Structure 1
């Protein structure tokens, strides 16, 4: 007697085994498209049934109306992409139809002939005066030959008008076919997004969108085609009609406001400079006042304890490079500048990051300010810094703080917001206070993000070393500035490598310390 075996369950091995409620799908498509429901239902079904290649559907409305169809259906990516391509095609058609091909060459030929006429007149005057007219006749002959070549070039360009016209017509026809083929595919993708999130994805046809599409097309296409097909373009299209007085008045008003603020807040600005100078002097005394063997030994030991022997060996080699080239004092001045900036950035940035991580309203208010601090070119910071704080190392540190503080603020806020609510609720349920939750739960869990922000702040502060030398800052940036002024390639490269080694040493020590703390 054979042993009985249980039958294996049937396996679904093909997409065709999945049942689709076509009536419900058609109703969903009809709700989405609102008009021409039967056509789009057939097109979407064909797209769904096609597993390989491009679905063979053609949308005559999209082919004929082009971007206007896309605007009415709310497929704005389709609208802008094909509007730009159609403008290119119409530019070629315009150049081949009414474009003055070779007009610039004809104008150049006319100028050359006029100049040749002047030389011929001077040759005739020299002949009447009994002088040798050969030089003027030679120049005139050269210009006449150049004018002839310019006219030949213009004639060749004019002869290409028919080929350019045909190219534009063929391109326009290809674009129309491409729009008819791609329209239903793009619209079906929008339908798929609509089924996932119907509140944020556009559906149906709206007359106001059609009007908006026509207005946008008329605002973009005719002027662009006119600009690239007509030689004598109106100056209003090539240069904005700006009034120079607006610039002068705005600059004077802004300068007067900055001067008034500098005079009114002189005491506060001086206090800030004194506080920054105190931090800088303390760090400078520790690095530059202490004998160099002690400083070098301490740095190597810190690198060993923080990141291991490999980083310690690299640190010793980098410090040896700096010392043997005579950069020790100015390198320590650079480390003091960067250290003072980083200390202030971290002390001020982490509390701000915690606040912004806990208060979404405060973060929304501060986000534009952080964007401004990060995107405004670093050289622009130097203008108000000089006006308010003068020149030298402390103002340079303040400019570095503005540039380097946003990363630690953003990443601290990101780390605080990334702490799971369930963990905080569990800590609160066990009786932890808000301070205990912050100190023992949120900060440890957010530490990887916070340390990444500190690392980015250090590197961004180091990138400002050369820039702050423009306002009297010292350190290795002064070496690079002098090398640029005198085009000294050797000193510039040696100083640049010294800055690189300082940055790498600080970065490796901080990263190594973070990895070891994370492993524990």
Structure 2
């Protein structure tokens, strides 16, 4: 091909024309400017920051109109801070607290001086002490007045810092607007459902929101006596008391009606837990230690066996052996229940997306609810002791294995499943020989997380009567026994590491 052939030039021009047409369709307003800016950004070898005067002038309103959420919130928070600073400085209310304190102390000094005069006139012995106290109070009032005057003198500085913050917010909007809009344009090319052009209704809403937020924030911080409705959220203690009483009655009724059911669950958990604890603590300690070391050697290799031996020696020598076995029994029961419930549920969710969509809010609730909150209904329904601790741990530790099992099954390549089905694989064969082996890394990660989360509940479960190492940590917290608490916490850590390494097995 001739080097002077105009065909490549025409091809480049056509590509540029098509690009400009897309930019025009995306930005709607001022397309020529944005076509040039986007081209500069794409051609630049490094990062460039072309200034957008419209974004600098309008700030968060421009960002809202263009659908750039991150820029909106950045500029909004900076401008709110700037408006508050300017309002506080302009209102001349700096030092109001110190001035009020000075007036209060000055009044106390006057009262004390009058008491001193009366005592001196009556010839009482405490007159000198009252005079000294009045002088000290007056000195404290003078100090407070000086602090108030110093704070008032900073008003121009506060206003200046607010103006600087406002300028920084607008400069930030001007310099980053084009790059953010260009990234949004690139995303719009692959996802045409994104907003394009100027969203004027949203811009009007953003303008109204900003004006209201700026005004209320400035009034709240600049006014010496802001309105009560702005400083205190509306509350109704009677509603709280009524709802609390209703919930108390509901829990009492549920506990009474399901007494046999909840008692059966508690008895079943106690049977498993007591049997496991008796088997671990009743067996001679050298036998138990040897079994653990052999399992560690077989499943995880000699290095983990050596580490396990050192950890077990720590537990035995420092007197944590029996309580460690009780903790392992509690953890083992909880983990068995979590895994026997979570893995089948995760498999079901991984193969039924609709089921996972309905289960996911429940998992979110179970994971985000603070662990201490679980103890309240558990105590109400199951009482105190080890079984309620196992139930609270079950609620807290099940979600990770469900999520990661479903994630692992969803990540199995469809081509492999289709190939197995083409060769006549049954559903059971497909699950056990294809899906589960390929999803095993994710499932093992879920098992690991569940075990560790169950162990993290050991200390919390000790609050409702669960024994073990958590009891030592709880006692150390109550009596500020730092050394004992650290030793018991390190024992829990070693138990977690031994169990985790043995369960994870040998890393090839």
Q: TM-score, normalised by structure 2?
A: 0.93
Q: Quick one: structure 1 residues 433 and 93, their matched pair in 2 at CA, closer, same or farther if it must change by over 3 Å?
A: same
Shift of 1:345: 1.2
Deviations 1:288-343 (A, max 9, x none): 22222221111111111111112112222222222223322222111111111111
- Ranges in structure 1 where 5+ consecutive residues have no aligned partner: 1-6, 11-15
Q: Number of aligned pairs?
A: 501
1:465 alignment partner in structure 2 = 458
1:183 alignment partner in structure 2 = 177
Shift of 1:352: 0.6
Contact kept, 8 Å, 2:56 with 2:170, in 1: the verdict is yes
307, 314, 318: which one aligns with 2:307? 314
In the alignment, the residues of structure 2 paired with residue 354 and residue 238 of structure 1 have an alpha-carbon distance, to the nearest angstrom, of 50
In the alignment, the residues of structure 1 paired with residue 63 and residue 390 of structure 2 have an alpha-carbon distance, to the nearest angstrom, of 53
Q: Does 1:167 align with 2:151?
A: no
Deviations 1:461-517 (A, max 9, x none): 11111111111111121222223333333332332222222111111111224x3xx
Q: Quick one: structure 1 residues 112 and 264, their matched pair in 2 at CA, closer, same or farther if it must change by over 3 Å?
A: same
SS at match of 2:185: helix
Q: Quick one: structure 1 residues 346 and 182, their matched pair in 2 at CA, closer, same or farther if it must change by over 3 Å?
A: closer
Q: Does 1:374 align with 2:367?
A: yes
Q: Quick one: structure 1 residues 18 and 489, their matched pair in 2 at CA, closer, same or farther if it must change by over 3 Å?
A: farther
SS at match of 2:12: coil
2:6 alignment partner in structure 1 = none
Q: Quick one: structure 1 residues 104 and 195, their matched pair in 2 at CA, closer, same or farther if it must change by over 3 Å?
A: same
In the alignment, the residues of structure 2 paired with residue 467 and residue 179 of structure 1 have an alpha-carbon distance, to the nearest angstrom, of 48
Q: Quick one: structure 1 residues 276 and 82, their matched pair in 2 at CA, closer, same or farther if it must change by over 3 Å?
A: same
Q: Does 1:447 align with 2:412?
A: no
2:139 alignment partner in structure 1 = 145
CA-based RMSD of the aligned residues comes to 2.2
SS at match of 2:502: helix
In the alignment, the residues of structure 1 paired with residue 473 and residue 73 of structure 2 have an alpha-carbon distance, to the nearest angstrom, of 47
Q: Does 1:114 align with 2:107?
A: yes
Within-5 A mapping of 1:345-356: 345-356=338-349
Deviations 1:352-385 (A, max 9, x none): 1110111111111111111111111111111111
Within-5 A mapping of 1:245-324: 245-324=238-317
Q: TM-score, normalised by structure 1?
A: 0.91
SS at match of 1:101: coil
Shift of 1:204: 0.6
1:136 alignment partner in structure 2 = 130
Contact kept, 8 Å, 1:43 with 1:57, in 2: the verdict is no
Shift of 1:63: 2.7
Q: Quick one: structure 1 residues 120 and 342, their matched pair in 2 at CA, closer, same or farther if it must change by over 3 Å?
A: same
Q: Quick one: structure 1 residues 483 and 68, their matched pair in 2 at CA, closer, same or farther if it must change by over 3 Å?
A: closer
1:494 alignment partner in structure 2 = 487
In the alignment, the residues of structure 2 paired with residue 395 and residue 170 of structure 1 have an alpha-carbon distance, to the nearest angstrom, of 58
Q: Quick one: structure 1 residues 188 and 99, their matched pair in 2 at CA, closer, same or farther if it must change by over 3 Å?
A: farther
In the alignment, the residues of structure 2 paired with residue 97 and residue 484 of structure 1 have an alpha-carbon distance, to the nearest angstrom, of 50
Runs of 4+ displaced beyond 4 Å: none
1:71 alignment partner in structure 2 = 64
Within-5 A mapping of 1:315-334: 315-334=308-327
2:94 alignment partner in structure 1 = 101
In the alignment, the residues of structure 1 paired with residue 142 and residue 415 of structure 2 have an alpha-carbon distance, to the nearest angstrom, of 84
SS at match of 1:326: coil
Which shifted more, 17-26 or 346-355? 17-26
Deviations 1:229-253 (A, max 9, x none): 2221222222212111121111111
